[in-house]
């Protein structure tokens, strides 16, 4: 089925929320492959805002990103959490990206969520070319693929190399958030961040973090799937501040 056949409009010709069953895909794409079509910014060239945002906004730079934004439930929440900031979801999987793009467009068609956009790209290859040094204020990495097999560990979106990239892109005082339902991955992420001296771990129970942390634990598509699988799902979270 072509993408335009998946677009649903109401009687007033406004876009409606797409049907997720039309956009099913494997759990992940291989981020080490370089031969698929995705957004590839040129070196030292900022993201072209008009590709993702269709209305003039206060901010002229993207300052909030959702790495591996999936089907976009949390991306929509970001619009409410940061109404005056530009927020961009980054997703590698083609069909998942197509769904989220239509989801975002359906909200904008109803005059909502004008400050969010979604981009199909390979974060591991291109994130350092998409944003400038110290540009970002918030990075969300929620329920990433744990890549359990030893031979696939280098595909993890949290690694020594990637954490160094995040440190470069975050402004001083900027925050990076990680949530997972896999305890082994949680301990691994703590170890990786502890090796980078540009990050301080924050207490998620502190007043200024408690509300947003509750949202990031429970507002994503993966979190909703967890609730369906278990009556008492376990979630592990981390917040780090850029020094």
pLDDT in tens, 22-75: 656 555 566 666 666 677 776 656 688 888 998 766 678 999 999 999 999 999
User: Is 122 annotated as contributing to ligand binding?
Assistant: yes
Tell me which of 230 and 160 has the higher pLDDT: 160
| pLDDT at residue 115, as a whole number | 95
Q: Token pair of 30, please? A: 């291989």
The predicted model gives 76-98 an average pLDDT of: 94
How far apart (Å, rounded) are the C-alpha atoms in residues 122 and 88? 14
What CATH number labels 61-145+157-242?
A: 3.40.50.150
User: Is 123 annotated as contributing to ligand binding?
Assistant: yes
| pLDDT at residue 5, as a whole number | 43
Predicted structure pTM score: 0.87
User: Is 222 annotated as contributing to ligand binding?
Assistant: yes
Contacts 24+ apart (CB under 8 A), 77-80: 77/215, 77/219, 78/116, 78/140, 79/107, 79/112, 79/113, 79/114, 79/115, 79/116
| pLDDT at residue 1, as a whole number | 44
Of the candidates 145, 160, 181, 203, the residue annotated as catalytic is 145
Q: Token pair of 76, please? A: 């929509």
29 is catalytic: no
Which of 154, 150, 180, 176 has its CA nearest to residue 163?
Answer: 176
Q: Token pair of 216, please? A: 């990031």
User: Is 68 annotated as contributing to ligand binding?
Assistant: yes
Ranges 12-26, 41-55, 117-131, most confident:
117-131
Tell me which of 32 and 217 has the higher pLDDT: 217
User: Is 137 annotated as contributing to ligand binding?
Assistant: no
pLDDT at 13 > cutoff 70: no
The domain segmentation of the chain, as residue ranges, is 61-145+157-242
Which of 214, 213, 212 has its CA nearest to residue 82?
Answer: 212
Contact (CB, 8 A) for 121 and 26: no
């Amino acid at each position: 089925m072509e993408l335009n056949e998946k677009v649903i409009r109401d009687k007033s010709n406004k876009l409606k929320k797409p049907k997720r069953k039309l956009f099913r895909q494997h759990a992940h794409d291989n981020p080490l492959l370089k031969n698929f079509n995705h957004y590839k910014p040129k070196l030292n060239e900022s993201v072209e805002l008009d590709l993702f945002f269709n209305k003039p906004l206060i901010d002229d730079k993207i300052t909030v990103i959702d790495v591996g934004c999936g089907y976009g439930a949390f991306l929509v929440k970001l619009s409410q959490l940061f109404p005056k900031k530009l927020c961009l979801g980054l997703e590698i999987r083609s069909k998942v990206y197509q769904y989220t793009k239509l989801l975002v467009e359906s909200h904008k068609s109803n005059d909502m969520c004008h400050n969010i956009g979604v981009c199909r790209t390979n974060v591991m290859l291109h994130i350092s070319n998409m944003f400038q040094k110290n540009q970002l204020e918030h990075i969300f990495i929620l329920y990433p693929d744990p890549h359990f097999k030893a031979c696939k560990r280098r595909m993890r979106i949290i690694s020594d190399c990637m954490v160094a990239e995040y440190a470069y892109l975050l402004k001083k005082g900027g925050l990076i958030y990680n949530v997972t339902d896999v305890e082994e991955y949680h301990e691994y992420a703590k170890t990786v961040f502890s090796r980078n001296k540009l990050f301080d771990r924050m207490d998620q129970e502190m007043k200024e973090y408690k509300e947003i942390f509750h949202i990031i634990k429970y507002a994503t598509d993966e979190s909703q799937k967890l609730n369906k699988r278990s009556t008492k799902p376990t979630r592990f979270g981390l917040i780090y501040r850029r020094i």
